[in-house]
A = this chain, B = another copy of it.
Amino acid sequence: MSYRVPLEDIDFVLNHVVDLPAVAKLNGFQHADPETVRGVLAEASRFFQEVIAPLNRIGDQQGSRLLEDGTVRTPDGFRAAYAKFVEAGWGGAHIPEEWGGGGLPYTVGIVIQEMFKTANMAFALCPLLTHSGIESLREHGSPEQQATYLEKLVTGIWTGTMCLTEPHAGSDVGALSTRAEPRDDGSYRLFGQKIFITWGDHDLTENIIHLVLARTPGSPPGTKGISMFIVPKFVLDAEGRPGVRNDFKVVSLEHKLGIHASPTCVLALGDGGEGAVGYLIGEEHEGMRYMFTMMNTARLGVGLEGLAIGERAYQKALAFARERRQGRALGEATAESALIIEHPDVRRMLTTIKANNEAMRCLFYTAARAHDFSRHADTAEERERNSELLSLLTPIAKAWATDLGVEMASLGLQVHGGMGFVEETGAAQFYRDARIAPIYEGTNGIQAIDLVTRKLPIGNGEVALGLIKEIADTAANAPQELADLAAPLSEAAATLRQATRGLLDSLGRDPNDALAGATPYLRMFGTVLGGWFHLRSAIAASELLAKGEGDEAFLGSRVGLARFYCRQLLPSASALLDAVLAPVDDLAVSNLT
C-alpha cells in the first residue's frame, strides 16, 4: 500500500491532546463522539488509501494537460475517483447539514483533509479551493447565490477556484487590474488576465465556479477598490443548469516543478470581446475583506500539506529502511549486511521526520478545534478567545509546517541514498511537490509579517503571551519523570516570551526591526509549540500507562518521540533569539555584493 493512514496516531492526538470529547460537547456536535468519529475516519481511511493514493504517481507522470480545444484533461483515473469522492460525500464532511454537508466538527474534517492531501497532494487542491469558495459564499453571498451555488459546491458536484493573482499582482493583491463593467441586468462583464489559477479548468465536473477579484469603474486604487465576483465556466440557464460557455479561456498551463496533476492555469477573461459574465458578491469594494474571510481555513489547508508530505515521506523512507540492507551495524557479530534502519544515523533521520509530523498534526488539530470553538462555544467571550487563538496560530501553521514539509521531504529522500534521486522511487516527487507550499496562499515571508504585524499586536500581545504562559505552565507542572523534557520546554518558552516582548517593543519603535526578525520568530514559535504538544502527548501517554490503559508499546513511543523532540530539536528555537532581535541594519543591502 502506498499510503497507510496512521489511524492510531490520529486517534491519540484527537482524544488525548486536543480533547475531541470537549468538541463533541459543543452545541451541534453532540453526534461527534469518539466512537462515531473513529468509525467515520476508518471508513475515510479506506477510501483515501484505496481510491485516491494510488493515483499520486500517475498524476505526477502524466500531469494535467491543455488540449487543443482549450480544455484541460486530468490524468488517467482522476475523473472516476473524483466521482466516487462526490458520491461518498467526503468533500462536505465538516460543512453544516443545512448547506448540504455532513455536519461534523472541523476538528474531524481536518483529519479527512489530511488524508486526502497525504494520499495525493495535487488532487486535494481541487476540493481545497472549492472550500474557499464555499466559505466566501456562506459568509457574503446573497440568499439567491447561496441557493444557486452552495449545495453544488459542498457536495463537490461543481468545483470552485480563487482568481486573485495577475502578472504584477502576486503577494501584492492590491495591484490587480482586471476590470468589471456593470450591465443593466445587474450582472458584470469581466476583462483581464489571471495567473496561477489552481484547478482553473479540468474535466472532473460539468461546471466550475470561479471567484474572481476585479475592479469596478472608478474604484479607488489598491486593496480598497477590489470587488469579488462569481464567474461560472458555464453560465447557468433559467433552470440553474450549466448553459452557455462563459467568455474566458485557458491560455496556458504552467510547467511546474511539482504537483503536476494540478492544472495551474492562465485565464484570459473577456478574451472573446464580450467579457466574462460575473455576479458581484456582497458589496462593491469589499472583495479584499471577503478574501480574508476564507483565508484562515485556506491557509490551514495549505499548511496541512507540510504534514501531508512529511507523513508520506516518512512512510516511504521507513519502508525502505526496513527492506534495504547495507553495511554492518556496530556490535553485530553476523557477517550479513544490516538493514539500514539499524544504523543510528538512519534512525535519526526517520525519528526527526516522525517527531516533526506528530508536532504538526497536533498543531493543525488544535487550530481546527479553535475554529470549532470560535463558532460553536457557548459564550461570546469563549468564541472570541478561540477566534483570536486561531488567528494567531494560522500563519504559524501555514509557514512553519510547509517549511518543515520541504525539509522532511528532503530528509526522506536522503534515507533512500542514490535510489532517492531516481524518479521511479517516488521520494523525489514529494521533494518536488513540497516546494510549492511555502509559496502559495501567501508566501511564508508574508505569513511571518502577518504574525508579527497583525497577530502579535492583538490586545498588545496578550493572546501570544497568554499562550506562552500556558506553555510554561504545562512545563512547570509536568510530572517528575518527564523533567528532562519539561526543562528544555521551560527554557524555550522563556526565550519565546523574551522574543515576543522584544518584537512588541520594536513594533512601537521601528517596525522595520520587527519585520527583520519576523521569519526566525515564526520558526521559533512553531518549534516551541511543537515542544508543548509533545510534552502534553507524553504526559497523556504516561497517565494512560500508569492506569494500565492502551497499547504499552504505542504509548511508550509517544514518550520516546517527545523526548527526542524536546531534547534534540527544541533547542534550535532558543538559538534564534539573536536573529529575532537583531536590528534591520544587519540586513543591509550593501552586504549583498
A-side residues, CB < 8 A to B, are 6, 8-9, 165, 168, 170-172, 175, 195-196, 221, 254-258, 318, 325-328, 330-331, 335, 337, 341-351, 354, 406, 410, 413-414, 417-418, 420-424, 428, 431-432, 435-436, 438-440, 443-445, 448-449, 488, 511-512, 515-516, 518-520, 553-554, 556-557, 560-561, 563-564, 567-569, 571-572, 574-579, 582, 584, 586-593
Which B-chain residue is minimally distant from A345 (CB atoms)? B445
**Among B326, B557, B567, contact of A593 (Cβ-Cβ < 8 Å):** B557
Do A257 and B165 have beta carbons less than 8 Å apart?
no
Give CA–CA (A592, B8) in the complex, Å.
13
Given contacts A557-B591, A579-B568, contact A344 B512 (CB under 8 A): yes
Given contacts A417-B170, A417-B439, A511-B330, contact A424 B325 (CB under 8 A): no
Counting every copy of the chain, the complex holds: 2
**Among B9, B257, B342, B561, contact of A421 (Cβ-Cβ < 8 Å):** B257
Which B-chain residue is minimally distant from A431 (CB atoms)? B435
Do B351 and A591 have beta carbons less than 8 Å apart?
yes
Do A424 and B337 have beta carbons less than 8 Å apart?
no
Specify the main secondary structure of chain A where it touches its partner.
Answer: helix
Do B591 and A561 have beta carbons less than 8 Å apart?
yes
Do B410 and A435 have beta carbons less than 8 Å apart?
yes
CB-defined A-B contacts under 8 Å, sample of 7: A256-B423, A257-B431, A347-B592, A354-B591, A410-B410, A418-B439, A557-B591
Closest 5 CB pairs of A and B: A575-B575, A560-B591, A345-B445, A568-B579, A347-B587
Which B-chain residue is minimally distant from A349 (CB atoms)? B445
Do A432 and B516 have beta carbons less than 8 Å apart?
no
Given contacts A255-B423, A439-B417, contact A582 B567 (CB under 8 A): yes
Do A354 and B592 have beta carbons less than 8 Å apart?
yes
Do B515 and A345 have beta carbons less than 8 Å apart?
yes
Given contacts A326-B170, A560-B591, contact A345 B448 (CB under 8 A): yes
Do A348 and B587 have beta carbons less than 8 Å apart?
yes
Give CA–CA (A461, B342) in the complex, Å.
27
Which residues from B are CB-within-8-Å of A586? Answer: 351, 560, 563-564, 567-568
Give CA–CA (A76, B159) in the complex, Å.
44
Do A418 and B564 have beta carbons less than 8 Å apart?
no
Which residues from B are CB-within-8-Å of A448? Answer: 345
